[in-house]
């Protein structure tokens, strides 16, 4: 199990027509292995940029990220990404999608088949292996995306609004699945969401990020993910403690949005 360390990470995008955007400034945190961190914040505060840097898709313009003490210099199997939608191979069936990583690693066919069957079972898609991707609902497709990510046996799973395209009911079910996977696999998860409720419910640690420049504004340690594993999520979300935190976060984010609007107004 490897701890993740993000030290003074900055990201400046140079714009093709001149000028630049400071997407992240001096972001630092340590994340012990096995934590579930949620990232919440207004549009443009650098959430996706941070995930892409940890994934190794982007090199930061300042600072460094290490996993288990090793610097991250590019994409690697120990860090898997799950996107909002559309990242599955439409021309392959469900089982082939899940088997993609192991096949690339030349795992034995029989081994891969067992692995895929096991993972489809884990995500609640037993018997769906030979279905085409287009035959599946959005929620089912995200289950496939999760299984495909898990097939690579990553240490860290990065999720960029993985449930953002789902209807409310499916979304709640999938939140339960993510908690279950987190507990069963003990993996480190970093999940970006626009939903305050989701960030609170899933995160055992939560960062509220702020824009211009993108940074971590507030960090919380939260009890709800642990509790949500064993108790009724609906009741938990209706509890006074949960609602208090939700309102606190909502007003913080509203404050930021207002600042942004004011800033934009001031520029015109
Ligand atoms: N490739 C790029 N080139 C230039 N600017 C970029 C690029 N990618 C992101 N940005 C800018 O960097 C800032 C952070 O973007 P990022 O996509 O990380 O934000 P985000 O928090 O994920 O937003 P959202 O919630 O809308 O997904 C934004 O101002 C964005 O316009
Ligand atoms: Mg984003």
Question: Can you give the pLDDT at residue 246?
Answer: 97
Question: Can you give the pLDDT at residue 268?
Answer: 42
Q: Give tens-digit pLDDT for 146-173.
A: 999 999 999 999 999 999 988 999 999 9
**Whether residue 168 sits in one domain with residue 66:** yes
Centre of ligand 2 to C-alpha 48, Å, is 4
Taking 50 as the pLDDT cut, the residues of the chain under it are 266-268
Please enumerate in sequence order all residues whose Cβ is within 8 A of that of 191, keeping only pairs 6 or more positions apart, or say none: 36, 37, 38, 39, 159, 162, 178, 199, 202, 203
Q: Which range of residues forms the domain containing residue 172?
A: 4-78+156-267
Indicate the residue among 129, 153, 177 that finishes a domain: 153
| Confidence (pTM) | 0.94
Nearest CA to ligand 1 atom 2: 13
Ligand 1 atom at minimal distance to the Cα of residue 194? 25
Decide whether any atom of ligand 1 lies within 6 Å of the 13 Cβ.
Answer: yes
Decide whether any atom of ligand 1 lies within 6 Å of the 23 Cβ.
Answer: yes
Question: Can you give the pLDDT at residue 256?
Answer: 86
Decide whether any atom of ligand 1 lies within 6 Å of the 48 Cβ.
Answer: yes
Question: Can you give the pLDDT at residue 264?
Answer: 64
Indicate the residue among 109, 134, 153 that finishes a domain: 153
């Amino acid at each position: 199990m490897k701890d993740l360390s993000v030290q003074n990470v900055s990201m400046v995008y140079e714009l093709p027509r001149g000028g630049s955007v400071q997407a992240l400034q001096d972001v630092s945190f340590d994340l012990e292995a096995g934590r579930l961190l949620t990232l919440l914040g207004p549009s443009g505060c650098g959430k996706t940029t941070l995930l892409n840097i940890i994934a190794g898709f982007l090199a930061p313009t300042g600072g460094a990220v290490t996993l288990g003490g090793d610097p991250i210099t590019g994409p690697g199997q120990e860090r898997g990404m799950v996107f909002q939608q559309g990242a599955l191979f439409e021309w392959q069936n469900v089982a082939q999608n899940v088997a993609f990583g192991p096949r690339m690693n030349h795992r034995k066919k029989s081994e891969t088949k067992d692995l895929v069957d096991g993972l489809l079972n884990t995500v609640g898609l037993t018997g769906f292996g030979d279905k085409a991707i287009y035959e599946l609902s959005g929620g089912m497709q995200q289950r496939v995306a999760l299984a495909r990510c898990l097939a690579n046996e990553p240490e860290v799973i990065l999720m960029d609004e993985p449930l953002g395209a789902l209807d409310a009911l499916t979304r709640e079910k999938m939140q339960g699945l993510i908690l279950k996977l987190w507990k069963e696999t003990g993996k480190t998860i970093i999940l970006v969401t626009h939903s305050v409720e989701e960030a609170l419910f899933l995160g055992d640690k939560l960062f509220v990020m702020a824009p211009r420049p993108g940074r971590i504004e507030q960090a919380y340690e939260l009890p709800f993910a642990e509790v949500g594993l064993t108790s009724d999520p609906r009741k938990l979300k209706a509890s006074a403690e949960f609602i208090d935190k939700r309102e606190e976060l909502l007003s913080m984010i509203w404050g930021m949005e207002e600042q942004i609007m004011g800033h934009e107004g001031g520029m015109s």
